[in-house]
């Protein structure tokens, strides 16, 4: 149950929510990220909604770690670009002909905060939801089984491809392939590495397809599942309220734009 998954196995009530409820939160925060008017509102959404939710799910530390790791480069680059190129009254400092304005800096921070809120909503879902539970919830709502399979198997099989690529690299090094050097030489390396990787993977696909057939994957008719997803009237209400709030935010945003 480990490997490359972001998911953290905890016993919190957030973990036990139906995957669709958590997905509703994610979409709600996506709308928040796009529709909230300014930096103050966005930061409020992050600190007073997302962070308490992460705390409820017992994932505060990894939530903060991941969100700041992703957002820091955005904060720096967006501040610099917007600060110098968006005009404004208040000049904070100048580099030759270029002036860094407070208004521009604020605009940059606002864009970064929008990314932060959207990212937070996605993190909340991935940290507390098993991918197979989410896919099961979606297939029960009509997502094709094959699509769910592609998502789930890619999550698991991709790291094995990395292992295999490493193995091929070592095998080629053992035969005297130079792996150092400048960019052009490194690019040329892709040929002896990707050839065997792609070919061996294609060979695997046939066996993998047979293994799936042997397990009745293409069998028509209803499928059942070992995993039990608990839903409740309260959660259905919650999803409905989140939907209404989201729609309300969009309407408000559109309305203020036309004012």
Binding interface with another protein (CB under 8 A):
1-3, 5, 130-132, 148-149, 152-153, 156-157, 159-160, 204, 207-228
- CB 67 → another protein: shortest distance, Å? 25
Complex with another protein: residue 145 or 251, whichever CB lies closer: 145
- CB 101 → another protein: shortest distance, Å? 51
Beta bridge partners of 95: 98
- CB 229 → another protein: shortest distance, Å? 12
**Type and span of the H or E element at 92:** strand 91-95
Alpha helices in the chain (DSSP H): 13-16, 19-35, 39-44, 51-56, 60-85, 102-128, 131-140, 145-174, 183-188, 190-214, 233-258
Complex with another protein: residue 3 or 248, whichever CB lies closer: 3
**Type and span of the H or E element at 179:** none
C-alpha–C-alpha distance, residues 214 and 200, integer Å: 22
Say whether 8 sits in a helix, a strand or coil: coil
Alpha carbon of residue 151 to chain centroid: 13
Complex with another protein: residue 69 or 226, whichever CB lies closer: 226
Strand 98-101 relative to strand 91-95, pairing: antiparallel
- CB 91 → another protein: shortest distance, Å? 55
Complex with another protein: residue 156 or 194, whichever CB lies closer: 156
Residues in the chain: 259
Beta bridge partners of 98: 95
Complex with another protein: residue 3 or 37, whichever CB lies closer: 3
Complex with another protein: residue 171 or 241, whichever CB lies closer: 171
- CB 121 → another protein: shortest distance, Å? 23
Complex with another protein: residue 107 or 148, whichever CB lies closer: 148
- CB 145 → another protein: shortest distance, Å? 9
Residues 6+ apart with CB under 8 A from 124: 14, 22, 25, 26, 29, 50, 53, 54, 57, 63
Is residue 155 within 8 Å of 132, Cβ to Cβ?
no
Say whether 38 sits in a helix, a strand or coil: coil
- CB 164 → another protein: shortest distance, Å? 10
């Amino acid at each position: 149950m480990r490997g490359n998954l972001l998911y953290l196995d905890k016993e919190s009530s957030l973990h036990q929510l139906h995957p669709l409820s958590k997905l509703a939160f994610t979409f709600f925060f996506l709308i928040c990220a796009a529709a909230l008017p300014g930096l103050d509102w966005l930061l409020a959404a992050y600190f007073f909604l997302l962070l308490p939710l992460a705390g409820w799910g017992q994932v505060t530390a990894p939530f903060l770690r991941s969100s700041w790791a992703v957002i820091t480069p955005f904060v720096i680059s967006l501040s610099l670009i917007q600060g110098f190129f968006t005009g404004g009254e208040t000049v904070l400092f100048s580099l030759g002909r270029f002036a860094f304005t407070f208004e521009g800096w604020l605009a940059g921070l606002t864009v970064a905060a929008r990314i932060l809120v959207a990212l937070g909503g996605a993190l909340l879902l991935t940290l507390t939801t098993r991918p197979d539970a989410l896919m099961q919830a979606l297939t029960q709502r009509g997502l094709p089984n094959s699509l769910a399979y592609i998502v789930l198997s890619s999550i698991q099989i991709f790291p094995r491809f990395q292992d295999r690529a490493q193995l091929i690299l070592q095998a080629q090094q053992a035969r005297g392939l130079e792996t150092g050097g400048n960019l052009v030489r490194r690019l040329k390396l892709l040929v002896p590495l990707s050839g065997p990787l792609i070919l061996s993977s294609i060979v695997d696909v046939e066996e993998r397809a047979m293994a799936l057939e042997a397990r009745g994957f293409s069998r028509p008719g209803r499928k059942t599942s070992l995993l039990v997803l608990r839903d409740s009237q309260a959660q259905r209400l919650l999803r409905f309220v989140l939907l209404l709030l989201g729609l309300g935010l969009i309407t408000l945003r559109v309305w203020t734009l036309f004012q």
